[in-house]
Amino acid sequence: MHSCTRTSFAAMAMAMGSAALAGGPSGCDSIAGVEPFTQFNYGFTIQAVWNNNCDVCHIGGSAAGLSLEAPRSELNLIDVPSVVDPSFTRVVPGDAVASLLFLKINCDDPGAGVRMPMGGTLSAVQQRLIFDWIENGAPMMSNGFEDR
């Protein structure tokens, strides 16, 4: 079931762009060729992506009121409305293509603001990690759902 969902991800994103969200998203990278992640350690692997690519700007909430600093950066993402466009939610657990965070790192035109990291792109493997983390319910640890 999961592999089926993921194979059709690009089509889903395009369908959303034309149906639900006027003006976006578009220019999204395919991550279908990357092996899915099934194990997560937010504070280690995902926080490392923020530390290395985002926190020069997303420090103390300076860019778009969004702090991605450790610890507890997830509290600024999960179920938090976007500051730039409050019709978006930053992370919707279980639904990556409804999550502005994922659209911002996956699409040249995310539908609100510009692609992140501003002036660059994350690798397909990093994009896949964020996609799978959200799709699996944005857990803090492992492949379990013990903490939400």
Q: Which residues bind ligand HEC (CB under 6 A)?
A: 53-54, 56-58, 63-64, 66, 82-84, 90, 100-101, 104-105, 113-114, 116-119, 122
Partner residues linked to 81 by β-bridges: 89
Of 3 and 71, which CB lies nearer to ligand HEC in the complex structure? 71
Within 8 A by CB and 6+ apart from 36, the residues are 2, 3, 6, 128, 132
Tokens read off for 126: 């990093």
User: Which region, left, alpha or beta, applies to residue 23 given φ > 0 means left and ψ of -120 to 50 means alpha?
Assistant: left
Of 33 and 86, which CB lies nearer to ligand HEC in the complex structure? 86
Of 53 and 136, which CB lies nearer to ligand HEC in the complex structure? 53
The least CB distance from residue 81 to ligand HEC, in Å, is: 7
Amino acid at residue number 102: F
The least CB distance from residue 66 to ligand HEC, in Å, is: 4
Which residue is at the shortest CB distance from ligand HEC?
Answer: 113
Of 94 and 144, which CB lies nearer to ligand HEC in the complex structure? 94
CA distance 10 to 44: 28
